[in-house]
Amino acid sequence: MYVRRSQGEELTFDFALGLIHDNLLISDRETNSLWSQLHGKAIAGPRENEALRMVASVQTTWRQWKKMHPASRIGMTPDDWGRAYWYRDPGKPEREPEHDTTALGLGFSEGTEAIFIPLSAIEDLDYPLELGGKSFVLHGRPSEMTAWIDDAAGQLVTTVMAYESGWRSFFPDTEVFVASP
Amino acid sequence: MKHHLNYGLAFCLVLGIGALAMGAENEPNPIRTVHANVQMRPGGEFEEVDVPVYESPNSVPNLAAEGVAITDDDLILGVVADGEAVAFPVRFLSSYEVVNGRVGKIPVAPSW
């Protein structure tokens, strides 16, 4: 999740119907720049080559999230539920059968190194993780279709839930996590 | 404003799939364009085009959970910042691909 601020200016993002390395685009109203949604970097317009700052976020079920944060509020336009989606029946997408939700994973980069952690490769366990010369803890919760990573101080770090192919398009030399036996 | 981007895009923003096989039904009008060198379909060649841009919700409110018909199995994108925890339901996000919200005083752009 990005902080929508650049050069001290608050930005408002809309959806742009195009792709960069097979990943979708967003555009801000204030400068009409075009940004990579996965990479958070502007690819065209006045803010070209600038990167948005990320704020750490977790994708998980409401069940899991409210256990972690009982006072959480819900960010949405009232009653705007859109359409029913694939996760009603994980692995059997309702609308887009080409999407294999079992292939989802967590992408994480530190310094010049990157790792992709397939949800299918982990269990509901915590794993030690070393990347970029630093120590982290990977919290696996595939039963809730999620995983997250804390640094050595226990602070949530920024990650991206993605398909491996999407992650590789920006981090071609990424490692792929394999749980130790 | 609610609009449904009936492109078969669903949850592909972060996921890098980019299904750009558009359906014409209920297709909203773009609010502007950006000229850029991009792909217009997954695996496609890069080309100079006027990329159409569609309006996403702004000033998304953070609602009390008690009043929202969310289910335990609903996927959310959760964030804690500036003393506030907010969950953005994926069902909501995936209709727009990106929305404009705020957590505490921090302006955020959750996307899917």
Nearest chain B CA: its distance from A52 CA (Å): 10
Return the higher-pLDDT residue of A133 and B12: A133
Say whether B5 and A84 touch across the interface (CB within 8 A): no
> Measured between alpha carbons, how far is A117 from A145 in angstroms, rounded to an integer?
12
Q: What is the DSSP letter of B98?
A: B
Q: How high is the pLDDT of residue B94?
A: 81
- A86-114 per-residue burial string, b: 16 or more CB within 10 A, e: under 16: bbeeeeebeebeebebeebbbbbbbeebb
pLDDT (tens digit per residue) in A7-59: 999 999 999 988 888 788 999 999 999 999 888 999 999 999 999 999 999 98
Helices (H) and strands (E) in chain A, counts: 2, 16
Indicate whether B90 pLDDT > 80: yes
Q: Is A85 on the interface with B (CB under 8 A)?
A: yes
> Measured between alpha carbons, how far is B96 from A5 in angstroms, rounded to an integer?
20
Give B-chain residues touching A65 at CB under 8 angstroms.
76, 78, 87
* Token output for A4: 């929508």
Q: Which residue has the tokens 């993780």?
A: A129
Nearest to B34 among A32, A56, A62 (CB): A32
Q: How high is the pLDDT of residue A153?
A: 95
Q: How confident is the model at residue B19 (pLDDT cuts 50, 70, 90)?
A: very low
* Token output for A143: 């039963």
Q: How high is the pLDDT of residue B89?
A: 93
pLDDT (tens digit per residue) in B27-75: 578 999 999 999 888 778 999 999 999 999 999 999 999 989 999 988 8
Return the higher-pLDDT residue of A122 and B29: A122
Q: Is A25 on the interface with B (CB under 8 A)?
A: yes
Nearest to A74 among B13, B19, B68 (CB): B68
> Measured between alpha carbons, how far is A119 from A97 in angstroms, rounded to an integer?
19
Q: Which residue has the tokens 């080559």?
A: A49
Q: Are A146 and A62 in contact (CB under 8 A)?
A: no
Q: Is A14 on the interface with B (CB under 8 A)?
A: yes
3-state secondary structure of A130: strand
Here the ipTM equals 0.80
Q: Among all residues of chain B, which has the CA nearest to that of A167? A: B16
* Token output for A86: 């694939």
pLDDT (tens digit per residue) in A72-115: 999 999 988 765 443 333 343 344 444 566 678 999 999 999 99
Return the higher-pLDDT residue of A79 and A140: A140
* Token output for A48: 């070209």
Residue A67 makes CB contacts below 8 A (sequence gap 6+) with: none
Q: How high is the pLDDT of residue A73?
A: 98
